[in-house]
Amino acid sequence: MRLTKRSYLTLAIILSLLALLHQPQAVAASQTETFRYHMTDEPHSLDPARNSVSDAAYFFPQLMRGLYTYSNAKGLVPEGAKRCSVQGLKISCELASKKWSDGSAVVADDYVRAFRHLLGKDSKNSALQLLSNLKNAIDVSSGKKPAADLGVASQGANKLVFTLQEPDPDFLFKLTSPLFVPIKSEKFPERDKASEIITNGPYKISEWSRGRRIRLVPDPQFDADA
C-alpha cells in the first residue's frame, strides 16, 4: 500500500502522541492532578462561630467533621457519632473513635466547648436558629445565663448529652450543619498562620494566601484508629 503525504503526516502525529503518553513525565503529571475549587467569598476567619459567608459551608467540612453528615441517598450518615439515642428531652450520643490532626483523640468535651462557643455573644452565625430548642440556648446567647447552663454536657470522654426544652424530631438532622463541629481550642490562628489550626476532617491547611489561594493536604489521622 502506498502512503500519501497526508497519510505520512497523520501517522507521524499519532506516533508522536503515543510516545508522549509513554513518557514518565506524563504519567507523573496524571498522578499529581490537583482538585481546584473557586470560592467567590473567602472565609473571614478560621473560627466557625465568626463565619457567615456561604462558601464556608463547603470549605469547613473539608477541615472539620461533626457528629453527622447528610446524604441524599443514605440520609443521616454517622461521622463523629457512633450512634445517638433519643429518650424524651434527652439525646445521648456515643462518640466514634476519631483523632485530631495532632494525633490526640476527639472527646466529648471538644463538642461541649464548640457548642458553648457557637452561642457566645460574639458569634456571627446561624447556630441559634438551629439550636433555639436546646435548653437555655436563647438565654446563653443573649448573655442572661452562663455558657455552663447550655443544654449540652459530656459524660466521660465518649458520651455527649443534649437536653432539649421540648421534643424535636429534627434535631439530629440539624446536627449535620457544618457549624456543629468539635473544636480543640477557642483560640484560632490568623489566616496567615492557618497551617497551625488543628483539624479532625479529611484535610488540613498547608497554606493560606489571602485573596489568592488556600492549599489543603490530606490529614493522615482522619479515620485512623484512636
Report pLDDT digits (tens) over 124-177. Answer: 667 888 999 999 999 999 889 999 999 999 999 999 999 999 999 999 999 999
Taking residues 196-208, report their average pLDDT.
93
pLDDT at 148: 95
Is pLDDT at 24 greater than 50 in this prediction?
no
- The Cα 91–Cα 189 span in angstroms is 33
pLDDT at 194: 92
**Nearest partner of 177 among 64, 24, 40, 18, judged by Cα:** 64
DSSP state of 105: B
Instruction: With H, G, I as helix, E, B as strand and everything else as coil, classify residue 171.
Output: helix
Question: What HEC string does 31-64 produce?
Answer: HCCCCCCCCCCCCCCCCHHHCCCCCHHHHHHHCC
pLDDT at 113: 97
Taking residues 179-204, report their average pLDDT.
93
Q: Are 199 and 188 in contact (CB under 8 A)?
A: no
pLDDT at 96: 96
Query: Which of 23-32, 163-172, 200-209 bottoms out in mean pLDDT, i.e. has the lowest?
Result: 23-32
Confidence band of 40 (pLDDT split at 50, 70, 90):
confident
pTM across the whole model: 0.80
**Cα–chain-centroid distance for residue 148?**
25
Better pLDDT: 192 or 112? 112
Is pLDDT at 181 greater than 80 in this prediction?
yes
pLDDT at 153: 98
pLDDT cut 90: percent of the chain above it: 56
pLDDT at 126: 78
pLDDT at 11: 39
pLDDT cut 70: percent of the chain above it: 78
Residue count (the chain): 226
Q: Which residues contact 64 (CB under 8 A, 6 or more apart)?
A: 48, 178, 181, 182, 199, 200, 201
Parallel, antiparallel or unpaired: strands 213-218 and 75-78 = unpaired
